[in-house]
Structure 1
Amino acid sequence: MPHTCNVTFKGNALAAFAFLLWGIMPLYFQMLTSADTNELQAFRITFSVPFMVLVFLTLGKQLPSIALLKADKRSVALCGLASVLMCVSWYSFTWAITHGQVLAASLGYFINPLFAIALGVLFLGDKLSKAQVLAGLLGTCGISYMIFSYGELPWLSLAMGGFFALYGLCKKFIRFDSITSVTLEAAILLPIALGYLIWLWSSDQSVALAGLFANQQDFDWKQLLIYMGTAPVTLMPLLFFALAISRTSLSMIGLMQYIEPSMHFLLAVLLFNEHFDQVKAVSFALIWTGLLLCSLEALPNLRQRRAENKAAGI
């Protein structure tokens, strides 16, 4: 019994820490506001591979063998699809937080659960509760109000939330463990990302690599390290999240996932002084209300499961 409580506490702590890291991520990318998003994405993918290899070595795990990959070609193909979906989501997120659009990033991850609910119904046969149906309607009203008021779709937010939800759906069908699948996702895109960086450097179009091997005295090593750092900065919360999954309930994970967009929202409004007008206020309020209803509905179920586990001594 104490062991179970300890595991749950560790899982909750790991999950909360993961979402906190995701939440403060815009602070790191404020050092890269003049960066080219394509180059930034290529750096993130390229240096994700050696970072993940280091994670394998640190944890004492074996790198995935060729035999393992051949034995499950379907999962390898799904990792390829997942890498593309995550690439689009991260590209949108990176562009947003380096171009003064942190509120758009916040909105994207607030509406992500609504996309996830819809995909669960369409592809996994999930049944919606009354709160989830109402949350979907309120979220749709919030987005519709924004479209009606601004006369355009919030493309950045929709791309972030939608493609990240598709990424989550894809991951449900991958049979590799989380660390292996994340490594494969980066490795599959590595040739394209590395090739793109080499082309940028050779054609003198790279910002981070400008002057490398040519003028060592004037070369900005600090800027290069910041570009390279986007890999561990974006992967660390993902690893903590993967560790949390097996140590706590999905219900608790679902409740804590709003830490990230809430922090994005606070950073955007209080620190980055982004414009928060009446239209955004109404849209966010509708979406928040729907998510609050889902959270309140989930709490009794969470308490019931805890009570059942306690009674069973699990």
Structure 2
Amino acid sequence: MQNSTKTSLGVTLNIISSALFALMFAYTSLLNELQGQETYGWRVLFTVPFLTVFILLKGYWPLVLGIYTRVRYEKYFWLTRLLSSFLVGVQLWLFVWAPVNGYGLAVSLGYFIMPITMVIIGRLAFQERLTPHQKVACLFALIAILNLLIVSQSFLWPVWVVCIGYPIYFWLRKKTNTNNIGCTWVDMLLSLPIACYFIFANGQVVTELTVNLTLLYLVVGLGGISALALSFQSLSAPYLNLSLFGLLVYVEPVLLLIVAILLGETINQKDWLTYIAILLAVVTLILEGIRKLHLTHYR
């Protein structure tokens, strides 16, 4: 497969993943009677079987076996799996907790800033080059970050968790050569004990199973959406370098921002410069994508 075709496939898969994550962000409003911890627990519990079926049907199980083999024969590899599972587990919990606790905008801002930290890691750790359009997009994003820090002072803790935690997670995947859907499955599997604890510690769904099956159907649906979103995201990663993968993440926070506003949150007046700068960054990336598609079409 040619490089341009691989990149186009990666971009398509990544955009589908972003749309599914935004759908899940909105979907959590249907579960607002649950605590965030229990919602996270059910998400993980039902994501694992859905993700397992997807991997088996698509023939990706050798990737899982490859990680198992490395755990057996590489001395400290198991430690990186625990760290990887912890890093992504925090993000999965925050994603379902934030929109029903008034932090949806904060999480979307974290996703807006995350590409910049990913670009920095890609440049410093892997010597990846940026295109002129990507440099301009980074400049706009830097303006947005400075406005958050100096003018609006809207850097709430979920912003930091997302914009720093996720880049470390993806750096670890890249560094350990586990940037694939098999790694995602192992991460989710290792999260199961904590997920089950949250389910039975809070126990609302379990308690109401005999009188309210709607809750069970809703959490099953959450698991299905989660598995598809994670699958498409993991499938896109091998076709994209870290910098491009990071910049594509701008698609998701735009959708999350829309969902947060629809759920009743509002943007402060001091934050408008941040969002305008981010919009310009997104437009810059779209223009680059159109240009690349045009050049590929006429080759």
TM bucket (normalised to shorter chain) is: 0.7 to 0.9
Residue 236 (structure 2) aligns with? 244
Paired residues for 1:1-314 under 5 Å:
10-62=9-61, 64-65=64-65, 66-72=68-74, 74-121=76-123, 123-124=125-126, 131=136, 134-135=139-140, 137-148=142-153, 153-176=155-178, 178-198=180-200, 200=201, 205-212=202-209, 216=210, 218=211, 220-246=212-238, 253=245, 256-269=248-261, 271-289=262-280, 295=285, 302=292, 306=296, 310=299
Q: For residues 125 and 135 of structure 1, do their structure 2 counterparts lie closer, same or farther at Cα, with a shift above 3 Å needed?
A: farther
- Secondary structure of 2:235's counterpart equals helix
**Contact 1:90 / 1:160 at 8 angstroms: preserved in 2?**
no
Q: For residues 290 and 15 of structure 1, do their structure 2 counterparts lie closer, same or farther at Cα, with a shift above 3 Å needed?
A: closer
- Secondary structure of 2:34's counterpart equals coil
Q: Deviations over 1:21-74 (max 9, x none)?
A: 123222211101222111122222233332232223322444634545313454
Looking at structure 1, the residues matched to 13 and 110 of structure 2 have their Cα atoms a distance apart, in angstroms, of 23
**Contact 2:108 / 2:257 at 8 angstroms: preserved in 1?**
yes
**Contact 2:148 / 2:274 at 8 angstroms: preserved in 1?**
yes
Q: Deviations over 1:238-268 (max 9, x none)?
A: 2123333455777765554322111222233
**Contact 1:14 / 1:243 at 8 angstroms: preserved in 2?**
yes
- Structure 1 residue 11 displacement after superposition: 4.3
Please give the TM-score of this superposition, normalised by the length of structure 2. 0.80
**Contact 2:118 / 2:246 at 8 angstroms: preserved in 1?**
no
Looking at structure 1, the residues matched to 4 and 197 of structure 2 have their Cα atoms a distance apart, in angstroms, of 48
Bigger drift between 27-36 and 186-195 goes to: 186-195
- Secondary structure of 2:206's counterpart equals coil
Q: Which has the higher helix share?
A: 2
- Secondary structure of 1:210's counterpart equals helix
Please give the TM-score of this superposition, normalised by the length of structure 1. 0.76
Instruction: For 1:229, give the aligned amino acid.
Output: G
Aligned-residue sequence identity (percent) comes to: 23
Unaligned residue ranges in structure 1 (runs of 5+): none
Looking at structure 1, the residues matched to 167 and 225 of structure 2 have their Cα atoms a distance apart, in angstroms, of 21
Looking at structure 1, the residues matched to 231 and 188 of structure 2 have their Cα atoms a distance apart, in angstroms, of 14
**Contact 1:109 / 1:161 at 8 angstroms: preserved in 2?**
yes
Unaligned residue ranges in structure 2 (runs of 5+): none
Looking at structure 1, the residues matched to 4 and 163 of structure 2 have their Cα atoms a distance apart, in angstroms, of 33
**Contact 1:21 / 1:237 at 8 angstroms: preserved in 2?**
yes
Instruction: For 2:24, give the aligned amino acid.
Output: M
Q: For residues 121 and 17 of structure 1, do their structure 2 counterparts lie closer, same or farther at Cα, with a shift above 3 Å needed?
A: closer
How many residues are aligned here?
293
- Structure 1 residue 94 displacement after superposition: 1.8
RMSD (Å) for aligned C-alpha atoms: 3.6
Q: For residues 146 and 208 of structure 1, do their structure 2 counterparts lie closer, same or farther at Cα, with a shift above 3 Å needed?
A: farther
Flag the structure with larger Rg: 1
